[in-house]
Amino acid sequence: MFRTILCLLPALVLTTGAARAHDFWVEPSQFIVKPGDSVTLQLREGQQLVGNSLPYVTDWFKDFSRSDAQGREPVISEMGDEPAATLSIRAVGTTLLGYRSTPDFVTLTPEEFAEYLRKEGMEYILALRTQLGESDKEARENFVRCAKTYLTTNSGTLSKEVQKPLGYTLELMPANDLYALTPGDELSVQLLYLETRLPVRWSRPSAKKS
């Protein structure tokens, strides 16, 4: 379970309200693979690694790709397939699966948005809305889902292709080999916005920027 959680980097969402406050991830049928293996990929939406399986719909994403020692290429499937795709492992080492959704919008009532902000520990945004006189206005949010999943053959090294940013709106870049970690190890990551490192971090428990 430790490695499962680490190797699924759930979607980073630019802004997401109470109506869309779900994780999104690419879930493979297996994480430890070998060249020639056939791996089923599910696109899941939910919470705590439990959720609905979504079909393969090209209008829903800007990128659905795999990267490995042989390069990067789109994940191709049939429209409406669920599970979304089946992939044949082609290289020794790490395979990176990436998914970037098309932009979408959601409109929240003032009450829904306030509830979401309190739940997520972002009371400072509530204070800002009060300061701007917007507490009684609806919130219209634009959001993008960006998810990554890593598979490994437990041999070989991380290829340069796998270590490249995917160019997503928001993206976590692990500084460690995820499959070399054990419980208690520290995982270092960089948060990128359009391949540019973000200098500001947000800590959910304290709701403070640092």
pLDDT value at position 13?
43
Please write the tens of the pLDDT for every residue from 44-61.
988 777 889 999 999 999
Tokens of 12: 């980073």
Higher pLDDT, 106 or 2: 106
Reported as a pLDDT band with limits 50, 70 and 90, residue 27 is: very high
Q: Which of 31-45, 156-170, 185-199 has the highest mean pLDDT?
A: 31-45
Reported as a pLDDT band with limits 50, 70 and 90, residue 10 is: low
pLDDT value at position 18?
43
pTM of model > 0.95:
no
Tokens of 26: 């690419």
pLDDT value at position 205?
52
Reported as a pLDDT band with limits 50, 70 and 90, residue 187 is: confident
Alpha-carbon separation of residue 62 from 67, 74, 75, 203 (angstroms): 16, 10, 12, 29
Euclidean distance between CA atoms 210 and 120, whole angstroms: 17
Higher pLDDT, 13 or 164: 164
pLDDT value at position 182?
82
Q: Which residues contact 68 (CB under 8 A, 6 or more apart)?
A: 90, 91, 93, 94, 95, 96, 159, 161, 162
What is the rounded average pLDDT for all residues in the chain? 83
pLDDT value at position 161?
77
Higher pLDDT, 73 or 9: 73
Please write the tens of the pLDDT for every residue from 127-154.
999 999 999 999 888 888 999 999 999 8
pLDDT value at position 179?
83
Q: Which residues contact 170 (CB under 8 A, 6 or more apart)?
A: 12, 13, 14, 144, 146, 191, 192, 193
Residue pair 64/75 in contact by the 8 Å Cβ criterion = yes
Tokens of 20: 């869309």
Q: In the predicted model, is pLDDT for residue 25 greater than 50?
A: yes
pLDDT value at position 209?
46
Over residues 20-41, mean pLDDT: 89
Q: Which residues contact 82 (CB under 8 A, 6 or more apart)?
A: 42, 53, 54, 55, 56
